[in-house]
Each structure stands twice: as C-alpha cells, then as structure tokens.
Amino acid sequence: MNEEFYISLIGEAFDGYTESSINGVPVYLKHVSIKDQRYVHKYYEKYKNIALKRGLETEEERIKYVLKEEIWEEEDDTQIHSLENEIENLKRTVKATFLPSQRDSLNKTIDKKREDLVSLRLKRKEVIGKTVEDYAEARSGDELLRCLLFKDPQLTERVYTDDQFGELETWEVAEISSAQHKIAVNFADAVIQQAVLRPFFNMYLSSCDNVSQFYGKAVIDLTIHQLKVATYGRMFCNIFQNVSDIPDNIKDDPEKLLAFADSQFNKGKTSGGLKEDADASAVFGATKEDIESLGGSDGKTVSLSEELEKHGGQLNMEQMMRLAGHDV
C-alpha cells in the first residue's frame, strides 16, 4: 500500500464516512459510532422475535438436539473451549516473552491452534444448522447497513427507507454488504496502526493524547475508526517517548515496534541479579538474532551455544558466573 492510500484512509476517518457507489449511484457509507450500535441491538431483538414466531430453534435447543441424537459429541465442545483457553493463555505468554525467536515460535503455535479452532467451529455450525440467533444477526446486520447509507456527505438523508430496503433484491443487499466489508478491511487495526506510523502523520501523534480536542467533538460523537486512529496514535507516541534505543528500521513497523517495546519492558523485569556494568549477559534459549536485538548498540551479549562450543560442550560454575556478568 502506498502513501496516498494511508493519507486517504486517515482522511476518511476524519470525515466519518466513505464514498462509494451502489448500482452506479454515488452513496456515502457512514462509519459506525457508539450511538449507531444501538441499532444492532434494536433490530437483533426484532428479528429474533420474528424467527421464534416462525418456529426456528434457538442455538441452545439445537445443541440439545444434536447431543441427544449423538450427531455432535460433548467432547468436541470441550475441545473448542480448551482451544479458546489455550489461545488466550498463549497470547498472554507472548506479551511476557522478550526473546523474538520465542515470540515467533509461540505465534506459530497460536496460528495452528486458531486453524484447529476455526475448523471445529465450522464443523459445529454445519451440524447445528441455522438458528434464531443466526437469522437475527444476519437481518440486524442488513438493517444497520440501511441506517449507514446516505445520499449526501453531510449524512442527512438516507438512501433507503425501511420499506424500500426490504424490497431490495438479494444481489443488491450483497453489493451493499461488499462495500461495507471493504471498509472493514481497509480500517482493520493493523492497517490503522500502519497509517498512524507513516511520516505524514508524525506531526499529529502528540495531539492524539486529547481525543476530544483532536477531533473537536465529544467522544460520544466519534466513530469507532476515529477513536482507533487517536488511540493507536497516542500508544505509539508513548512508545517513542518512553522506550529508548528503538532501531530506525522498525519505527514504521507496528508489529515489530510493539514487540520491541514489550521486549524492553520484559527484559528489564528479568535482569535481576545482573550488574548494570556487567561485561556480558547470557540468556538461555536465545538465538544469535535474539542476542543482537537484546544487546542494543553496546554489544554486551554473548551466545551461550558459542561459549559451550569454545569449552568443549561444558562450562563450570566459574565460567557460568562470568558469562552472567558476575565477578568471581
């Protein structure tokens, strides 16, 4: 993605809408705010009641049925919950891990477990079938789309009335959904993080501390995307102000910058017992790349594996103490 994309993205966030077209006609898709989210609950309850009156079963009723008929096993549900817990625990472990190689390894494990979880959830969904909740979620989502579509950039006149929207063909609703999905993809957290780290946004970072002043609006009137832009801007500004010796080559990479900030914080917590003026520090399990990332610019690190190789695969207590930076 080029610089123009990110500039346009931030511009859309400030405007609070994205210009698009439906059936060749220009429309303005309002970005969701906290106030707009009330529509979701309102229409969810409306269509939930409609589904119940039509005899559609709830998810709880369907689960009881498939378990009774042994179409789905309780062990499978247990496995889903187990995977969910494992992923959350691993994510917490990643945050507390300061070695890049170990973080990468943990993230790969998380990705694999997520794949297993998605597979199980899809299998479960196929077995359970369509439920009251599914119907209510889908229809309330459609209704939200109607509430966000406007004819003008001032967002004063909606494109469709309730009745008009209900008469739309399936393909027309799908076209609107596609436009909304594109907005969601463009404004994904990772993309917003990239945008606020671009050079053009540098001058705004320090202004993100006061969200209301930044936009000139009450927080309650801000869109979700506006809040995220300011939040991530403030977060990265704090990192630049409070984390020292950030390598230049990661200052515009959100993932690496966050990992570096975490590593510096956790490295400080795990350095107890070592002298500040020690000649070297040894970290078990560290790769050469880990050592370089931990050593900063002074290079005061050693590779344990290299030291072992130098001493024939064995280190005595005195040698270990010296590697850890203690006088003996």
Per-residue pLDDT tens digits for 199-235: 999 999 999 988 989 999 898 899 999 999 999 999 9
1 in a domain, yes or no?
no
What pLDDT sits at residue 304? 55
What pLDDT sits at residue 38? 78
Instruction: Say if CB 155 and CB 149 are below 8 A apart.
Output: no
Alpha helices in 205-253 (DSSP H): 211-215, 224-242
Residue 252 pLDDT more than 80? Answer: yes
- Whole-angstrom Cα distance, residue 293 to residue 261? 12
First to last CA, the chain: 55
Are 215 and 155 within one domain? no
158 pairs with which residues across the strands? Answer: 150
- Whole-angstrom Cα distance, residue 263 to residue 246? 11
- Whole-angstrom Cα distance, residue 139 to residue 144? 9
Q: In 3D, which of 213, 211, 202 has the Cα closest to residue 252?
A: 202
Are 138 and 240 within one domain? no
Look at residues 256, 290, 314 and tell me which one is the last residue of a structural domain. 256
Confidence of residue 13 (pLDDT cuts 50, 70, 90): very high
Over residues 283-306, the mean pLDDT reads: 55
Please give the share of the chain, as a percent, with pLDDT higher than 70: 80
Residue 79 pLDDT more than 80? Answer: yes
Q: Strands of the chain (E only): list them.
A: 17-22, 25-30, 149-150
- Higher per-residue pLDDT: 261 or 239: 239
Look at residues 123, 156, 181 and tell me which one is the last residue of a structural domain. 181
Are 42 and 67 within one domain? yes
Instruction: Tally the domains of the chain.
Output: 3
Of 21-30, 60-69, 77-86, 313-322, the one with minimum mean pLDDT is: 313-322
251 in a domain, yes or no?
yes
Averaged pLDDT of the chain: 83
Per residue in 39-60, pLDDT tens? 778 888 989 999 999 999 999 9
Are 130 and 200 within one domain? no
73 in a domain, yes or no?
yes
Residue 273 pLDDT more than 50? Answer: no
What pLDDT sits at residue 34? 84
Residue 15 pLDDT more than 90? Answer: yes
Residue 301 pLDDT more than 70? Answer: no
Q: Which domain holds residue 222?
A: 189-256
Over residues 176-181, the mean pLDDT reads: 88
Are 237 and 130 within one domain? no
Residue 282 pLDDT more than 70? Answer: no
Per residue in 125-174, pLDDT tens? 999 999 999 999 888 888 888 889 999 999 999 999 888 887 888 888 88
17 in a domain, yes or no?
no
Are 201 and 174 within one domain? no
14 in a domain, yes or no?
no
Residue 271 pLDDT more than 70? Answer: no
- Whole-angstrom Cα distance, residue 136 to residue 50? 8
Residue 258 pLDDT more than 90? Answer: no
114 in a domain, yes or no?
yes
Are 30 and 175 within one domain? yes
Are 86 and 52 within one domain? yes
Residue 280 pLDDT more than 50? Answer: no
Are 32 and 117 within one domain? yes
What pLDDT sits at residue 83? 94
Look at residues 181, 200, 215 and tell me which one is the last residue of a structural domain. 181
Residue 270 pLDDT more than 80? Answer: no
33 pairs with which residues across the strands? Answer: 223
289 in a domain, yes or no?
yes
Are 66 and 134 within one domain? yes
Query: Which residues fall within 8 angstroms of residue 115, CB to CB, at 6 or more apart?
Result: none
In this structure, what are the phi and psi dihedrals at residue 210, rounded to the nearest 5 degrees? -110, 95
Assigned token pair, 268: 């400080």
Are 152 and 247 within one domain? no
Over residues 249-278, the mean pLDDT reads: 69
Are 118 and 212 within one domain? no
What pLDDT sits at residue 293? 59
What pLDDT sits at residue 274? 43
